[in-house]
Every structure is written in structure tokens, then in C-alpha cells.
Amino acid sequence: MEIMYTKIKDKMFDNPLVFDNIRRVLLGGYRHMFKQVLRAANFKEGETVLDIGCGTGVFSKLFKSGYTGVDAAQGFIEFARNKYPQHKFLVKTAQEIDFSDNSFDKIMLLNFIHFLKDEDAKELLKKCSVIAKDSVCIMEPLPSNRFWTKFFYSQNRGHNIKSLFQLKEEISESLEIVDVKVFRSGFYKLVIVKCVPK
């Protein structure tokens, strides 16, 4: 029974439109999250942005130009290309990230690291430290004792949710943390961490 439930849930979450709508409901809309990303990253006109683990490309709405989204899910990338044709989207896993040094002003890892094994996350953060010219903006869910938050986290396919201390420790191996803000959005408790290359 549990295997069948997991298969049905995964099939639903593989549908970009369903995924987007469920995420919008659980986060209480995107407005608050967008505001936090813009505050932390402090984007300037003409800067280039690499969004690793971009999913359906929803964060591309924050940029007029210079945005590149990367995700391993072919279906999500096709959806993003159709919905946001003014931006560039590529199919790549975290392990396949191979951009040259200083090739993007800013990198975003938004609700993505908890999908990776520790060693893959550390390797990706190391790559980000040389790809980013200016900064890296990381947003992650944090553990919570609230019943509904814990329940919705348990339905998430990314099961490597870390405490703030663990996350900061992992990030600090490759990047220098300059700003940390914890906030709530819908059912989620999130942290946004702004970093610069060491």
C-alpha cells in the first residue's frame, strides 16, 4: 500500500503544473519568498544569474534578462522553456554542473540542497564558490515541530533537511556566510543564506 501511495505521489509531483500549484499552496503563495530572495541577493541590472535546481522556472519571473535555470528533470525544463521563453534553461544534474570560473555574477540554490546527499551538496557548493563572481544565495527548509509542517516535509522528495547549524557548517566549508534570515512562508520554515566566495 505504501509503495503504491509513493508511486502515485511521485507521478503527481512529476507533473510541472501540479507541482507548481501544490508548492504555491504549501508556501502560502510565492510573494513572501520572492521578497526574501530579492532582499538577500540584491540583484542589479545587467547581472547574470544561475539558478541551480530551478524546477519549473518560477524564480525566473524575478529577472528581465541574464537568467539561466538548470534542473535534472527534463519535464520541468520543457515546461519552463515554454512558460518563460525569454530565459535560458538547461537539463543538468548537480553533478554535471561544469560552468567556467566566474561565469555568473550570482548563483541561486533555492530549496534544492536537501535533495542531495551530503557529499554531492559539498561538491556543488565548492563548484559554486568558483563559478560565482559576486555571491551565492541559498534557501532551505528548516526542521520544525509543527504538526502540519512535519507532515508536509515527510511528503517532500528531498529528505536531507538539516538544522541551521548543520547547514551553516556545510556551507562554510566552501563559502563565506554574510547574511542569514529565518522566515515562515505558509506551512514552511525557511532560511535564506547569502554567501560570497572565499
Question: CA 198 to CA 173: how far, in whole Å?
Answer: 10
Averaged pLDDT for residues 65-69: 96
What is the band of 5 on the pLDDT scale with cuts at 50, 70, 90? very low
Angle (deg, nearest 10), helices 74-83 and 16-26: 80
| 72, pLDDT greater than 80 | yes
- Give, in order, the Cα–Cα distances in Å from 10 to each of 16, 18, 142, 187: 12, 11, 22, 20
The more confident residue out of 141 and 22 is: 141
Question: CA 164 to CA 120: how far, in whole Å?
Answer: 19
Query: Grid coordinates representing 81?
Result: 522553456
Q: What's the pTM?
A: 0.89
What CATH number is attached to the domain comprising 35? 3.40.50.150
| 174, pLDDT greater than 70 | yes
- Give, in order, the Cα–Cα distances in Å from 31 to each of 59, 82, 87, 185: 11, 22, 21, 9
DSSP string across 105-164: EEEEEES-GGGS-HHHHHHHHHHHHHHEEEEEEEEEE-----HHHHHHHHHSS------H
Averaged pLDDT for residues 149-178: 84
- Number of domain units in the chain: 1
In the three-class reduction of DSSP (H, G, I as helix; E, B as strand; rest coil), residue 85 is classed as coil
CB neighbours of 41 closer than 8 A, spacing ≥ 6? 106, 108, 135, 137, 194
Domain boundaries, position 177? 2-197
